[in-house]
Structures are given as C-alpha cells and as structure tokens.
C-alpha cells in the first residue's frame, strides 16, 4: 500500500445530510436564491455550500485597488431590497448590502462556508444528487444528498485568473500580478506600473493606482468602448429630496434605467455608427481635441459586442489628462528584465506588471458530474433557456445578462426554479429533465452564444465547454431581459420540454 496516499486520502464521510435543495455558491445569485426559497417555497429544506470563507463571490474574490461595479446597483441589486447609495458601488458597499440581506432574512443559518464541492452524482434509482465537498478548515470530506441542485457558481474559476503565456515572462525582474489574486503586500508607491488590458478591470485599476504610482500605463492590443457620466441618477436624487419611500424609489429608478438601457441597446443595433460617435465624443470631452482618440479609444467592433464599462466621473480619463496615466496601443513582443518590449520596437519599463487579461471560464464550478455513473459532458447538452440542460435531471444554473445587470436574471431564474419546485411537489414528481420535443428534432444546434452578437475573450476561449443552443427562444439564453421578464414567468411547466417522472 502507498503510505503517502493513505496519509493524504481524506477520510470517507461518516454521515450524509439531506436537503430538498442544495445551492452551490454564496455570491449574489446564491444568496438571492436562498432568499427566494424562503419566501416562495416555505417549508422546503435547503443548504448553500460555498468554497470561500464568506459570502459575496465576485465581490470578495476580487480585491484589487478600486474594485467596483460597472453597472448600476439599482438593477444589480436585488429587486426586493432597495439600493440607497450611488449607482456605481465599491465591492465593500455591495458586500455590506448582501450582508444586510442575509441578516434581515436570517439566511446565515443555511450557508456553510469553506465547503468546496468536488463531485456531484445523480442516481435515477433514488432520484437524488449526491454531493461530496471538502471542508477548507478540516480537510474532511462531507456528503449531502439533495433532490434539486441549484448551480449559482457563476461562470469563471475563482481560484485563478487567465494570464496568457508571453515570451520571456520568467526574465522580468519585477512582480507580475493578476487582479484576481491581488497580493495584500503589493507596494506600488512611486513604482512604474503597466496594466495589460483595457476592459472594466483595467479601467478601474488605472485611476485607483494612478495617484500613488510614479506612472501607470494601460497597455492594450485594441481599444474598448467606455461610457462616462456622473456617478448619480438625477431621478433618484429628486425623489429622495421629496422624501419618497425607498421601496418606491428603487422600483421607479429600476424602471427608468431599464427603459433607457433598452433604448440604448436597440440603438447599438439600429444606428451603431451614431452611438459610436456619441461614445467617442464622451471620451474626447475629457481628453481634449489633441488626444489621439482614434488610436486609443476607437474599437474595431460595434458598440455592445463586448461589455461596455461605465467610467464614473471620467476618473480614468482624468488620470490620463493629468499625465499620471497613459495608454499605449501596441502588441507585446516579449517580456524583458526591465519591462515589456513591444512589436513596434518600443520598450515599456516597469517595476510591476498587472495582467488584467480576464478569466478562465468554468461552466460547472470544477465539479466532477456524473449521471447514473456516466460523466456529464456539458457540451453535449442543449440548454433550456440558459437555465436547464437536456438529459440533466433536477438541476438549474443561473447565468445572468451581459448587456444588463446579472441580478435581473438571477431574480427571474429564482422565480422559475421556485415555481418548478412547487409544481413538482403538487404533481408528486421526483424528477424533471428537459428534453427536445418532436418539433425540435431537426432544429440546428449552435454554440451557446452567437459570437456576432457578443464575443469577449473568456467566452471565445471556453465556448467548446458550454452547452449548445437551438434556434428557438426555448432552447437558448436570449440575453434579452426585456422579453424574458415576461416570458420566464409565463413558461408552461407542462410543456413537453419538461419530462417528469
Ligand atoms: C470584477 C468584476 C466586476 C463585475 N461587475 C459586474 C457589474 O457591475 N454588473 C454585472 O451585472 N456583472 C458584473 N460582473 C459579473 C459578475 O460576476 C456577476 O454579475 C455576479 O457577481 C455573479 O454572481 P454569481 O453569484 O452568479 O457568481 P459569483 O460571484 O462568481 O459567485 C459564485 C460563488 O460560487 C462559489 N463556488 C464556485 N464553485 C464552487 C464549488 N465547486 N463549491 C462551492 N462553491 C463554489 C464561488 O466561490 C463563488 O463564491 C463582474 C465580474 C467581475 C469579475
């Protein structure tokens, strides 16, 4: 017998706990799911298992300077809990809001932190999922069974971000840091810093660090669109001045924002050139007519094909205008001892290089799934409205919106899951599995997202891991909140797409 294996193998779980529903993850979706279960499925037992030591998901994983939302908190906040602060919020403010939701609704007793789910096995004989998790504090393996698995694990691997391999990285004498694993001891005072990338993360880090660095450079291969404006919502301020109840303000401001966003999104499809010029004019207003906006801020794609980040009070542009920050649009030839050599031949010197280069997509939370003993190949399934999957019983996944706040969808999916659970209870069904109907037999199967519509790097790198979509609304994640807010509550749960046993 191999002694090392004997010593390191976790002890077999001694007991198995059972819950009607098991939620994976205590991010904004999982905590929201827990809230909705307590309100809409009273009496059902449930547990939330979370790898990390606290709630928040994205908002505790990311600890880089300046970390904040890029969409407004009236719509990124839950529909049931008013947001009362400025629309763009820091991670700390979001965590405090989520903490209030947990406390006000006594959700803490349902959440088990430091529980990393490793395996999930469905057995048709007993119509149950068996979940094995490793406890981060004791290393112990613990086992649960559940009737229904609610996947709120997000869409990217929390343990490490995506860093491409560049030539010569090992030669660089300074520090290379990914924003997803920000070192607490990183001292950047008086240092030269390069931030690779120009997405929302880079656009947050650059202004947050600019005042303390000797100089900070945002190095991008190609430009990104940004929207800029005041970090305030006029109608919210007016209603507050009139002493209107916060519950009303929340609802009215949500409707106003969603209306304006619908108009804007529509315009990006119908008049992309006009929208493009408006966005660029917003940048020019901060940087002046001498600045080379064409090279550094004019993307090659049409607006909204990648996430559009909001720059509150133009802080990124203020940093550039004062000369403390700059943008370089070029390609990396290789890393050298003192910095980065660019394809143009220019050398960018740095003490610290921040790789704001994105995420590793992980569709199922790095959990080994089996169904009746066979490994689940997620890419072989077809999605039912981006929430459930053909051949996968008693499971739902929360995948939010790209062009609207994620939480708008996590609330809608929660309503659907609760309705489905109540429907199954009424019917006495132990199992529900989505299946293509006879009329779907010849439906073309396509990648999860149409790259023509939306094509960020992490999705393009990971598309082969994701379920397929069909060409009918039932069999795709349409990314369209404005239709889904009416369509999802109206889903006929006795449609033949749901097979009950
Ligand atoms: C820096 C940043 C800023 C963003 N800003 C916005 C924004 O402004 N607006 C917007 O709409 N979207 C934004 N997003 C997208 C954002 O991720 C989502 O909006 C939202 O926070 C996702 O919430 P979630 O709960 O679904 O998933 P996550 O926040 O990813 O949380 C998932 C949780 O599941 C846990 N988990 C995963 N696997 C397991 C496992 N095997 N076992 C146990 N636990 C597990 C994780 O530890 C994590 O805590 C941003 C993303 C990033 C990275």
Total residue length of the chain: 501
| pLDDT for residue 305 | 76
The count of domains in the chain is: 2
Residue ID of nearest Cα to ligand 1 atom 49: 57
Residue ID of nearest Cα to ligand 1 atom 35: 25
Sign of CA dihedral 301, 303, 304, 309: positive
Asked if residue 170 and residue 309 are part of one domain, the reply reads yes
Asked if residue 372 and residue 348 are part of one domain, the reply reads no
Residue ID of nearest Cα to ligand 1 atom 21: 58
The atom number, within ligand 1, closest to the CA of 29 reads: 25
Asked if residue 308 and residue 366 are part of one domain, the reply reads no
How many helices (DSSP H) and strands (DSSP E) are in the chain? Answer: 14, 23
- The last residue of one of the domains, among 335, 357, 379, is 357
Q: How far is CA 218 from the centre of its chain?
A: 23
Asked if residue 284 and residue 377 are part of one domain, the reply reads no
Tokens matching residue 180? 């997803």
The atom number, within ligand 1, closest to the CA of 49 reads: 43
Find the 27 Cα to ligand 1 centroid distance in Å: 6
The atom number, within ligand 1, closest to the CA of 154 reads: 27
Asked if residue 426 and residue 352 are part of one domain, the reply reads no
Find the 61 Cα to ligand 1 centroid distance in Å: 8
| pLDDT for residue 9 | 53
Find the 403 Cα to ligand 1 centroid distance in Å: 16
Mutate to test the pocket of ligand 1, among 154, 361, 413 (most ligand atoms within 8 A of CB): 154
| pLDDT for residue 461 | 86
Asked if residue 28 and residue 59 are part of one domain, the reply reads yes
Report DSSP state, residue 446.
Answer: B
Mutate to test the pocket of ligand 1, among 32, 36, 56, 57 (most ligand atoms within 8 A of CB): 57
Asked if residue 397 and residue 262 are part of one domain, the reply reads no
Full-model pTM: 0.94
Strands (E), 221-359: 226-229, 309-312, 325-329, 332-336, 339-342, 347-349, 352-355
Find the CATH number of the domain harbouring 23: 3.50.50.60
Residue ID of nearest Cα to ligand 1 atom 15: 406
> What is the pairing mode between strands 175-177 and 352-355?
parallel
Which structural domain, as residue segments, surrounds residue 179? 163-357
Asked if residue 194 and residue 137 are part of one domain, the reply reads no
Residue ID of nearest Cα to ligand 1 atom 5: 69
232-260 core/surface letters (b: 16 or more CB in 10 A; e: else): ebeebeebeeeeeeeeebbeebbeebbee
- The last residue of one of the domains, among 326, 357, 388, is 357
Look at residues 281, 315, 276 and name the one whose alpha carbon lies nearest to residue 299: 276
Task: Give the chain's radius of gyration (CA, Å).
Answer: 24
Asked if residue 145 and residue 11 are part of one domain, the reply reads yes
- The last residue of one of the domains, among 323, 342, 357, is 357
Find the 456 Cα to ligand 1 centroid distance in Å: 16
- The number of beta carbons lying within 10 Å of the beta carbon of residue 143 is 16
Which residues contact ligand 1 via a Cβ below 6 A? 24-30, 49-52, 57-58, 62, 69-71, 76, 116-117, 152-154, 158, 201, 365-367, 398, 400, 405-406
Residue ID of nearest Cα to ligand 1 atom 18: 406
Asked if residue 345 and residue 267 are part of one domain, the reply reads yes
Residue ID of nearest Cα to ligand 1 atom 37: 153
> What is the pairing mode between strands 325-329 and 215-220?
parallel
Residue ID of nearest Cα to ligand 1 atom 3: 69
Find the 116 Cα to ligand 1 centroid distance in Å: 15
List the 332-336 sheet strands across, edge first: 332-336, 339-342, 347-349
The atom number, within ligand 1, closest to the CA of 62 reads: 1
Helix, coil or strand: residue 311:
strand
- Please say whether the beta carbons of 484 and 421 come within 8 A: no
> What is the pairing mode between strands 325-329 and 309-312?
unpaired
Residue ID of nearest Cα to ligand 1 atom 53: 58
CA distances from 53 to 127, 136, 188, 334 (A): 31, 9, 28, 38
Asked if residue 339 and residue 252 are part of one domain, the reply reads yes
Q: Which residues pair with 150 in a beta bridge?
A: 23, 396
Tens of each residue's pLDDT in the chain, 501 residues: 344 444 455 567 778 999 999 999 999 999 999 999 999 999 999 999 999 999 999 999 999 999 999 889 999 999 999 999 999 999 999 999 999 999 999 999 999 999 999 999 999 999 999 999 999 999 999 999 999 999 999 999 999 999 999 999 999 999 999 999 999 999 999 999 999 999 999 999 999 999 999 999 999 999 999 999 999 999 999 999 999 999 999 999 999 999 999 999 899 989 999 999 999 999 999 999 899 999 999 998 888 777 788 899 999 999 999 999 999 999 999 999 999 999 999 999 999 999 999 989 888 889 999 999 999 999 999 999 999 999 999 999 999 998 799 999 999 999 999 999 999 999 999 999 999 999 999 999 999 988 777 777 777 888 889 999 999 999 999 989 999 999 999 999 999 999 999
Residue ID of nearest Cα to ligand 1 atom 32: 153
- The number of beta carbons lying within 10 Å of the beta carbon of residue 44 is 17
φ, ψ of residue 270 in degrees (nearest 5): -85, -35
Asked if residue 207 and residue 348 are part of one domain, the reply reads yes
CA distances from 139 to 59, 97, 111, 367 (A): 25, 31, 18, 17
Find the 499 Cα to ligand 1 centroid distance in Å: 31
The per-residue DSSP string of 47-93 comes to EEE-SSSSS-THHHH---TT-B-SS-HHHHS-TTS---S-SS-BHHH
| pLDDT for residue 10 | 57
């Amino acid at each position: 017998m191999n002694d090392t294996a004997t010593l390191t193998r976790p002890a077999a779980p001694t007991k198995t706990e059972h819950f009607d529903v098991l939620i994976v993850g205590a991010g904004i979706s999982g905590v929201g799911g827990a809230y909705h279960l307590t309100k809409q499925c009273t009496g059902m037992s449930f547990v939330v298992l979370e790898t990390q030591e606290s709630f928040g998901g994205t908002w505790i994983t990311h600890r880089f300077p300046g970390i904040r939302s890029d969409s407004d908190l009236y719509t990124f906040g839950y529909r049931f809990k008013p947001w009362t602060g400025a629309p763009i919020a820091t991670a700390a403010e979001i965590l405090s809001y989520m903490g209030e939701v947990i406390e006000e609704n006594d959700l803490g007793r349902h959440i088990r932190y430091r529980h990393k789910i490793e395996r999930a096995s469905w057995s048709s004989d007993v119509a149950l999922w068996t979940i094995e998790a490793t406890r981060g504090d004791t290393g112990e393996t613990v086992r649960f069974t559940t009737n229904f698995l609610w996947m709120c694990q997000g869409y990217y691997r929390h343990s490490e971000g995506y860093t491409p391999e560049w030539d010569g990285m090992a030669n660089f004498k300074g520090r290379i840091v990914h924003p997803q694993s920000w070192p607490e001891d990183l001292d950047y005072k008086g240092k030269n810093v390069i931030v690779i990338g120009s997405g929302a993360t880079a656009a947050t880090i650059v202004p947050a660090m600019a005042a303390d660095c000797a100089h900070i450079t945002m190095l991008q291969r190609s430009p990104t669109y940004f929207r800029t404006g005041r970090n305030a919502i006029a109608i919210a301020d007016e209603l507050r001045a009139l002493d209107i109840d916060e519950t009303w303000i929340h609802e009215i401001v949500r409707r106003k924002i969603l209306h304006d966003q619908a108009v804007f999104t529509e315009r990006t499809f119908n008049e992309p050139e006009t929208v493009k010029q408006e966005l660029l004019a917003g940048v020019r207003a901060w940087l002046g007519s001498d600045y080379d906006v064409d090279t550094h801020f004019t993307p090659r794609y049409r607006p909204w094909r990648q996430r559009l980040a909001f720059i509150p009070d133009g802080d990124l542009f203020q940093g550039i205008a004062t000369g403390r920050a700059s943008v370089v649009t070029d390609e990396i030839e290789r890393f050298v001892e003192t910095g980065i050599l660019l394809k143009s031949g220019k050398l960018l010197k740095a003490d610290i290089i921040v790789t704001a280069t994105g995420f590793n997509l992980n569709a199922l939370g790095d959990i080994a799934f089996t169904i009746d003993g066979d490994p689940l190949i997620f890419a072989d399934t077809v999605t039912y409205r981006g929430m459930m999957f053909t051949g996968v019983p008693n499971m739902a996944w929360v995948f939010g919106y790209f062009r609207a706040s994620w939480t708008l969808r996590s609330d809608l999916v929660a309503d659907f899951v609760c309705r489905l659970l109540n429907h199954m209870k009424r019917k006495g069904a132990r199992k529900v599995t989505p299946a293509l109907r006879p009329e779907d037999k010849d439906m073309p199967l396509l990648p999860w997202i149409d790259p023509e519509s939306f094509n960020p790097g992490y999705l393009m790198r990971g598309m082969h891991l994701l379920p397929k979509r069909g060409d009918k609304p039932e069999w795709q994640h349409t990314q369209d909140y404005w239709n889904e807010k009416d369509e999802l509550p109206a889903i006929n749960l006795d449609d033949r797409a749901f097979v009950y046993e």
